[in-house]
Chain A
Amino acid sequence: MGVWIMAGVTFREAARKKMLWMALGAGGAFLILFGTGLHFQAKDFAARAMSPVLRREISFTMVTMGLYAVDLLTVLMTILTSVDTLSGEIASGTIQAIATKPVPRWQVLVGKWFGFVGMLTAYIAIMVVGVNSVTYAMAGVTAHHLIPGFLLIWMESIVLLSVTFAFGTYFSTLTSGVLALGLHGLAFLGGWIEQAGAISQTPSAVKVGIIASLLMPSEALWRRAAFEMQSPLANAMRMSPFGTLSVPSMSMVVYAGLYLAIALALAIRRFSQQDL
């Protein structure tokens, strides 16, 4: 019961503090910009009488580009909105009135976690549907495997959320934010090193990328999502800037699931044992 009360209040907090609406407003502005660009591109395609196959593949790339931007916005949204929820409430003492109620601490934490999961799920769904609606309206295409792609972006967000929660039980708000973003940055860089290693056929560079993904699997989930959502032709011909030459395996997805569970378990353990 305590879990759902805390989930509800966390979701309401995001809405009442205008976090969710501001994020959706920024997302809406992005979709307008994206749609405008796509509109002019479609007009240009028509004027140049481009081959339908090429036009279609470029449109697919535009979908992936839009989703890539959504992915970046999601990463920032996840970390920035959730980073203060534990460390901030512990530092300010707000948590004291809550933690002295007849609700086990793990329920308080898991409730907050579910509240953010709900908010982020709504945000990602709206943005992914938005991008695909715009590309469908302007160019008649949508992402290839949309549902698996959506689920992978969602999972990336939940991995980052769980890690941010775990940091929030150990460190201050600022330190937690720096650590969570830094860890994602490491994974992002590792992903590019892995791609470059795959192009130059340097196995050790690929290994560095894999190690970075093991340290933080968020970026690997995006690369897998991009692989799922791009057209099979673009994947086969490596013709997209978001092409994934070294595709994270399903084992990496399973690993990310375990990583998420361990991060959440660490957060629960620490929060249940710490002095507030």
Chain B
Amino acid sequence: MQMSRFSNLAIRTRGLRKVFRGQVAVRNLTLDVPRGEVFGFLGPNGAGKSTSVKMLLGLVFPTSGEAEILGRPVCDVTVRRKVGFLPEHFRFYDWLTATELLKLHGRLYGMSRTRLLERVPALLELVGLTPHRDKCLRDFSKGMLQRIGLAQALLNEPDLIFLDEPTSGLDPIGRRLVRDIIKAQRDRGATVLLNSHLLGEVEATCDRVAFIKDGEVVETRELNAGAEEQVTVSIRARNVTAQVVGGLARWTSAARSEADRLTLTLTSSDLVPEIVRYLVAQGADVYEVTPQRLSLEERFLEIVGSDGGL
């Protein structure tokens, strides 16, 4: 298999665009996701996240632009031997048992019987469905279906895994399981593209996120580095006059004062000691200083707007 010169990237898109009957679903998706990264896809409903994932999986054909996964064009079906996918609206042949479903998908991946005999029980164990292995999927709860779907997505030990709302329908234990599975996949070197509305989940698992709005990547940010860039500091202090608050403008443009609490947004936490020294020098009594990371939710709302999606 001949790889492109971008084969160190798990996902590479350039100006990807999809128009459905005159309606633009994805305007201009340009994205690089290096191998081994857990990458979050964030955006309001109707932002074009699912359509983008479908284009990367060859389910939807782009109107224009180019896309590669694992160094091969998305239209090359052979590359899918190393790709796993958990669809958002998870539907399978419900007349199959859990074991039969995994065997069917394993055979479609071209896996040998010997390998399936080893992988299927191991995956059923991993997702906690061993006691239900011979039960038809039609008798599964939503959470159980999500678990078997996850097992199906991991069957071929993929290099690239697309998880579209993987915790939908799962209880807290199931969500924890998904987080652990994502970490385990990263540890073995796989790339994970996580599409989720649960920002806390994305924050806990992703290395990097792309914010998508109106079918375009508005911002891509290193999650931890991004959080370090901007810090919200909550200061409990008395004797803080309006003049003192005004003097904070040299460190921050966003200072809010309510009763004995000051809330400042800073570009770096390195500024905190300097601000505390300033307040004390101005006669303020400082009782408490709490730096807070700017949550992903706040960042999300900042980027996509509080009106959200459709």
A interface residues (Cβ-Cβ under 8 A, vs B): 1-2, 5, 9, 13, 16-17, 92-94, 96-104, 273, 275-276
User: How many A-B residue pairs lie within 8 Å, measured between CB atoms?
Assistant: 66
The residue that B104 contacts in the complex, of A1, A9, A102, with Cβ under 8 A, is A9
Note all chain B residues with C-beta closer than 8 A to A94: 91-93
B51-76 CB mask vs A (1 if < 8 Å, else 0) is 00010011111000000000000000
The residue that A102 contacts in the complex, of B20, B81, B87, with Cβ under 8 A, is B81
Note all chain B residues with C-beta closer than 8 A to A97: 85, 87, 90-92, 105, 149, 152
Taking the complex as formed, is B95 at the interface, i.e. its CB lies under 8 A from any CB of chain A? yes
Provide a sorted-by-A list of 8 A–B residue pairs whose CB atoms are within 8 angstroms: A92-B91, A94-B92, A97-B152, A100-B59, A102-B77, A102-B80, A102-B110, A103-B108
Note all chain A residues with C-beta closer than 8 A to B58: 99-100
Note all chain B residues with C-beta closer than 8 A to A98: 108
**Chain A residue nearest to B78 in the complex (CB):** A102
Chain A nearest CB, measured from B85 CB (Å): 5
Within 233-281 of B, Cβ neighbours of A (below 8 Å) are at: none
B interface residues (Cβ-Cβ under 8 A, vs A): 20, 54, 57-61, 77-81, 83, 85, 87, 89-93, 95-96, 104-105, 107-110, 149, 152
Note all chain A residues with C-beta closer than 8 A to B85: 96-97, 100
Note all chain A residues with C-beta closer than 8 A to B108: 2, 5, 98, 101-103
Instruction: Please judge, given known A-B contacts A100-B80, A276-B59, whether A13 and B110 are in contact too, CB under 8 Å.
Output: no
**Chain B residue nearest to A274 in the complex (CB):** B61
Q: How far is the CA of A92 from the CA of B89 in the complex (A)?
A: 9
Instruction: Please judge, given known A-B contacts A100-B58, A102-B77, A275-B59, whether A1 and B92 are in contact too, CB under 8 Å.
Output: no
Instruction: Please judge, given known A-B contacts A96-B59, A273-B61, A275-B59, whether A101 and B109 are in contact too, CB under 8 Å.
Output: yes
Instruction: Please judge, given known A-B contacts A16-B95, A94-B92, whether A102 and B59 are in contact too, CB under 8 Å.
Output: no
Q: How far is the CA of A100 from the CA of B189 in the complex (A)?
A: 22
Chain A nearest CB, measured from B8 CB (Å): 22
Chain A nearest CB, measured from B188 CB (Å): 20
**Most A-side CB within 10 Å, residue of B78, B81, B93, B110:** B93
